């Protein structure tokens, strides 16, 4: 998932810089959001792997045992997927606004395919690890205070960018 996310988001940033002013501002925002949400997602995945052993994905049902970890992972995945009201959505809207103005329609529509695959991959991973029946042995504990603070800080930054993306665009453009 990390590799797929990195390829999709890097491609978006590169494309944004190629499609004019709106795309460039979206690329700056996407780079920021991708770094923050990606860091949160990787931190949550690392915590899950550390506690779940070599095959944490095979565990299933981790959300019942570690609800804070599941919530943080879901919020990071939603930001990476770029759903509406997330900072990723605002960034992609800027990039696609520039793309519609500068590229043929077929090229813009074709560029949506990797984003759809990213969303499906994030959903599939989340539901395999955090939802469903418990398949693995052992018990996974929830986030401790330090882990909660680190993830909350990253996710708060993502939320602040999503609530007022224009302010962050102005700061990034300076």
Q: Greater confidence, 120 or 55?
A: 120
> In 10 A of CB 108, how many CB atoms?
18
Residue 56 burial by Cβ neighbours in a 10 Å radius (0-12, 13-18, 19+)? buried
pLDDT in the model for residue 152: 95
Place of tokens 């500068």: 102
Would the pTM count as exceeding 0.85?
Answer: no
pLDDT in the model for residue 29: 85
What lies within 8 Å, CB to CB, of 59 at 6+ separation is 52, 129, 134, 135, 136, 140
Which phi and psi angles does 153 have, rounded to 5°?
A: -65, -45
Please check whether residue 87 is in contact with residue 161, taking contact to mean a CB–CB distance below 8 angstroms.
yes
Q: Is the pLDDT of residue 80 over 80?
A: yes
Q: What is the pLDDT of residues 111-155, one digit of tens each?
A: 888 888 888 988 888 888 888 777 765 667 889 999 999 999 999
Q: Which alpha helices (DSSP H) does the chain contain, by range?
A: 2-18, 21-52, 62-65, 67-81, 87-102, 105-130, 145-163, 165-173
Q: What is the pLDDT of residues 85-98, one digit of tens each?
A: 777 888 888 888 88
């Amino acid at each position: 998932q990390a590799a797929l996310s990195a390829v999709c988001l890097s491609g978006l940033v590169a494309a944004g810089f190629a499609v004019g002013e709106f795309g460039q501002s979206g690329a700056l925002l996407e780079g920021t959001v991708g770094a923050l949400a990606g860091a949160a997602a990787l931190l949550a995945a690392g915590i899950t792997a550390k506690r779940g052993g070599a095959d944490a994905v095979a565990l299933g049902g981790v959300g019942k045992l570690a609800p804070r970890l599941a919530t943080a992972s879901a919020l990071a995945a939603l930001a990476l997927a770029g759903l509406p009201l997330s900072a990723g959505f605002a960034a992609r809207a800027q990039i696609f606004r520039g793309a519609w103005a500068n590229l043929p329609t077929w090229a813009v529509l074709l560029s949506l395919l990797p984003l759809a695959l990213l969303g499906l991959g994030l959903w599939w991973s989340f539901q395999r690890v955090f939802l469903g029946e418990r398949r693995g042995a052992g018990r996974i504990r929830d986030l401790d205070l330090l882990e909660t603070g680190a993830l909350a800080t990253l996710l708060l930054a993502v939320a602040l960018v999503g609530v007022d993306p224009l302010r962050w665009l102005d700061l990034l453009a300076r």
